[in-house]
Amino acid sequence: MRSTVTRMHVGGFLAPESYGPNERLVVNAWLVRHPEAKLLVDTGIAEHIPAADVEELKFVRVPILDALAAAGAASDEIDAVVNCHLHADHAGGNVHFPRARILVQPRELAAAREPGYSVLEDLDLDRGRYEQREGEYDLLPGVRVIPTPGHSPGHQSVLIETDVGRLLLAGQCYRDASGFARAITALELARAGHPGAPEAPAWLPRLLELEPDRVAFGHDRAIWAADA
């Protein structure tokens, strides 16, 4: 079954120094309209991030409910949430979806309970309908969840069949589309026997086996395209 996917801009913040001086990152979330359900992939920036962090990183937050309304949907229409991971800039709106299942890898849920990992008040771990699903699985016909750990212990990505091909919502498994492209090049060089090629994550060959036509990221407006 095919879905339609709407990208929602839900804010941004000043990137860590490792990204480069004074670089700002966008924060994306996606509304997925599937024939059987409405899904969210990520829920934006937490409302209760400590004030010192807000000041240091210059957070600009678009409430997920406002972004949803602009996309023509409401919180009570959402059947399931898939967070790529549970950091405060990807799962900060989970508290607003009490009736939705929230699909999470077990390692990610365990990490989220550790002090300082995220903003617990906005994750709503104890009252939310968190459902632990380990590994790769089909959430719905045409919607597949794939574990892509690295940035976080239980990071996951979502492959969606659409009318214009397979869209992979890859969260923060790479910093941006350019980083993903470089990783593919490194993998190709390694497979060809070139010494010194950077080691690819164990899950990258699996992502490529799934043949995504486009790959989108949580902090980038650019999209990697297979035919580019």
pLDDT digits (tens, 9 = 90+) for 1-25: 999 999 999 999 998 777 777 889 9
Does residue 94 surpass a pLDDT of 90? Answer: yes
Does residue 56 surpass a pLDDT of 80? Answer: yes
Number of domains comprising the chain: 1
Does residue 217 surpass a pLDDT of 80? Answer: yes
Q: How confident is the model at residue 159 (pLDDT cuts 50, 70, 90)?
A: very high
Q: How confident is the model at residue 122 (pLDDT cuts 50, 70, 90)?
A: very high
CATH number of the domain residue 134 falls in: 3.60.15.10
Q: Which residues of 74-112 are buried (b: 16+ CB within 10 A; e: fewer)?
A: ebeebbbbbbbbbbbbbbbbbbbbeebbbbbbebbbebb
226 CB-side CA count, 13 A: 13
What is the domain extent for residue 122?
Answer: 4-225
Residue 118 CB partners (closer than 8 Å, separation 6+):
46, 86, 87, 88, 91, 112
Mean pLDDT (the chain, rounded): 96
